[in-house]
Every structure is written in structure tokens, then in C-alpha cells.
Chains A and B, each alone.
Chain A
Amino acid sequence: MAEALATLEREKPAAKKTASKVAVTEHNDHEEAANDRTTFGFWVYLMTDLLMFSILFACYAVLHGNTLGAASGRELFSQPVALTETLLLLTSSFTAGIGMFRARQGNKNQALAWFGATFLLGLAFLGLEINEFTKFVHDGHTLRSNGFLSSFFVLVGTHGAHITSGLLWMGTTLAFVARRGLTPGLVRKLSLLSLFWHFLDIVWIFIFTIVYLQAQV
């Protein structure tokens, strides 16, 4: 048994080598198929994540009126700040798309510049959100105050946590791109990252509409 395994181990690299020699032309097709599989796997994650957000949205829709007599969204939310956050995130989604386009062209500096802009815009968005949250908590509107604030902080905070992890992911990937160049593996990572970023922008459209704009209806 052990001997058989050892033989297998020895044969593996050899088999790989011949295969790559014989099928050079098929190589791109294989990599494309692998890319498709990875993208689809990530897509499945995004869709289940979307389902989780929809449950948080449903909670907010049910609970947003339960303020226990405290301030409602109409008094708490600043519409100009919400619009600024929306435009920041929307622009960052756009720059991520352009960055991805440049990365596929193999233009490393352009890709780094556009994704760098995406990173900064995302950071500005996160800064505004953290500023808003700390202001609420400082004024005594906390997660524990009432049903409205619990569902608000959980919904918007979950989105903010996604943005934070996206920024960490983007920062490390860009550092690797800067050092190693646009290798196929890194381009694939960037493509998943831009999918993730567009997805977060789409979720934010609904936070902007159902949480912030709806408060003034």
C-alpha cells in the first residue's frame, strides 16, 4: 500500500510535465474553465450573503417603527451624509470596474492606480460611517436602545464589516500585485474582489433607499 502510494507520488510530477508539453494549446481553455468554476463558487457565496442581507432588511422593515418613544430615523439620519456615502461607494464601484479592465489588459500601473482610488474611496466611505455610528452612540442612541436602533446597527454594521474585510483583501492583493505583477492568479483574485465590491455597492443602494431615504417618507 505504502509502496503503491510512493510510486503514485513519483509518477505525478512526470505525468504533469508531459501533459503540459503535449497540450500547450489546451492550457488556456483549462485555466478559463478553472476561472469559471472559481467565479461561480464565489458567486454562490455572494448570493447566499445577499439572502442574509435580505433577512436583515426584513427585520429592519418590521422593527424600524419601534423606537420606544426615542428619536426615529427622521430625526437621526443626515440625508446629505447618506448621499455622500452613496456617491463615494458608487464611484469606488466604477473605479474598481475600470481597474479590472486595465488588469485584464495587463496594465499593472493603471490597474494599481484605479484600484488604489477604489481603496481610498472605500476608506472615506467607512470613515463617514464610523463617524455616524460614534455620533449616535455618543448621543445615547445605542444598539440596545430600541428595536429600531438594534436592527439599524446590525444591518448597516454588517455592510460596514463587509466593506472593512473588502478593504483588507484589496490592500493585501494590491501589495502582491505591486511586488509580483499581474500573475494569472492575482488577476483572478482581483476579478473576485471587483465582483465583491460591485455586490456591496448594490446592497448599499437598498440601505440608502430603505433606511435613509425611507426615514423622510
Chain B
Amino acid sequence: MKREHGTIQSYITGFALSVVFTLIPYFLVVTQAVKGIVLFGTILAFALAQALIQVLFFLHLGRERKPKWQSGFLLATAGGIFVVTVGTFWIMYHLHENMMPTQAELKLAQDEGIAQVDGQKTGACVGASQMHMVVIKNGVASPSHTDAKRCDTIMFMNEDNTSRDIAFGPHSNHQEYGGVDDVPLSGGQSQTLTLNQSGTQSFHDHLHPEMTGDFTASP
């Protein structure tokens, strides 16, 4: 049993090391000697090292007699903590990435038809609607002008091999159309846009701005 308890010396060593391992990350953060992810990784490493120091010098773990139930239980808990913290962070990070406000708005605007334009709700598009096609081939959109009714849809078909990004308004000054910022199209892909906002709207390919066109949605 005796060897499980610390000596004065072990407490002093543990205390001195802990103070050093507290001050180094503190001054790294205050002086901003390193930045960003490197800084965070460094201070986290110092925290883990200090926790290990205190487990060894203050809790005197590893000196118990066999079977080492305490060390075993600590390791099992560490495994549980790893799964809980890393798992939570991993899942929530991806959930966060995939539910960015802009993407949530785009989903509302297109699937639910309830985008806001200038603070006014555009209203849901329900019932019969017509689908128009705009085919982009050899860098030209045809037809270059589409006449449609509000709540009709336009399917943009990219028949070229290059990626396109349909943006609204002139290239120099992008606009938003019915809650949608842009319609990305990889080579050979097609995407459907619901015309949930009345009026005439020009568009262009942000990646190849010479490709332009427009459409009019009458109320």
C-alpha cells in the first residue's frame, strides 16, 4: 500500500511541472507567438501533458498493486471520452457545414417557395406550372430570352464539358434572385430554378461571364 502514496518530493515535482505547463500556453496565447490551429493544438497538447503529470504525481496512478483496476477504469473512461467528444464534434461540424444559413435559405426558396425578397415573402408556388428549358452549348445559352409566368420553372442544361455557375445580374454586380445566389452546374449537369419572383432578370455564367441571357416572369 505504501508505494501507492506520494512523497513530498513527488508533490513538489508535480506542482512545479504543472505551473510551467500552465504558464507556457498562457504566454503563447497572450503574446500570440503562434496563431490559429497551431496555437490551439499546442495549448491542447500542454493541457493533456499537464493532466498526465497530475495523474502521475498527484493521483499516483500506476503504482497500485495488480490487478490495476483504477488504471484500467481510467483508460476505459478515456476511450469513452474520446468517442463522445471527437464523435460529437465530428458529427456536429458536418451538420453545421451542411446546414449553412445560405443553403437553408436556398432550400426554402426552391423547395418550399417561401423566399424573402427585400423583406417581402414571395409566397409558396403550388399547382400547375410550366417548365422551360435553357440549353447551354458551346458557351451560348439558347434561348437567350425566356418568357414565363411566375412559379414556372427553368431547367438549365449544361451540355458543355466545363463547369458553370449561373449567377444573376451583371458580372460586375451580382444580384440575388428569389433567395437564390447562384446555380452551380458541373459539365453535363442540369438544375431547375423555380421562378418565384416576378420581373425580368438577367443571368450570366460567373466562370465564363461572356455567356449571358435573361428571362421574364410575368405575375
- A: residues with CB less than 8 A from B are 32, 35-36, 39-40, 43-44, 47-48, 50-51, 54-55, 57-59, 61-62, 79, 83, 86-87, 90-91, 93-94, 97-98, 100-101, 104, 195, 198-199, 201-202, 205-206, 208-210, 213-214, 216-217
Contact = CB atoms under 8 A, between A and B. Distances in A.
B161 interface: no
Contacts of B36: 217
Interface of B: 1, 5-8, 11-12, 14-15, 18-19, 22, 25-26, 29-30, 32, 35-36, 39-40, 43-44, 46-47, 50-51, 54-55, 58-59, 69-70, 73-74, 76-77, 80-81, 84-85, 88-89, 92-93, 96
Contact of B26 (A51, A198, A202, A213): A213
B70 A98 contact: no
Given A97-B6, A213-B26, A217-B29, A90 B18 contact: yes
21 contacts: A40-B70, A44-B73, A47-B77, A50-B77, A51-B77, A61-B85, A61-B89, A79-B29, A94-B58, A97-B14, A97-B58, A100-B5, A101-B5, A198-B54, A198-B58, A201-B58, A202-B54, A205-B22, A209-B43, A209-B44, A214-B43
Given A43-B70, A100-B5, 16 more contacts: A32-B1, A35-B1, A36-B1, A57-B85, A62-B92, A87-B19, A97-B11, A198-B59, A205-B51, A209-B43, A209-B44, A213-B25, A213-B29, A213-B43, A214-B43, A217-B35
B14 A94 contact: yes
B29 A101 contact: no
Nearest to A98: B11
A114 B29 CA distance: 33
A61 B88 contact: yes
Contacts of A86: 22
Nearest to B84: A54
Closest 4 A/B residue pairs (Cβ): A58-B88, A209-B47, A54-B81, A94-B15
B8 to A, nearest CB: 6
Given A58-B88, A61-B89, A94 B26 contact: no
B43 A79 contact: no
Contacts of B32: 216
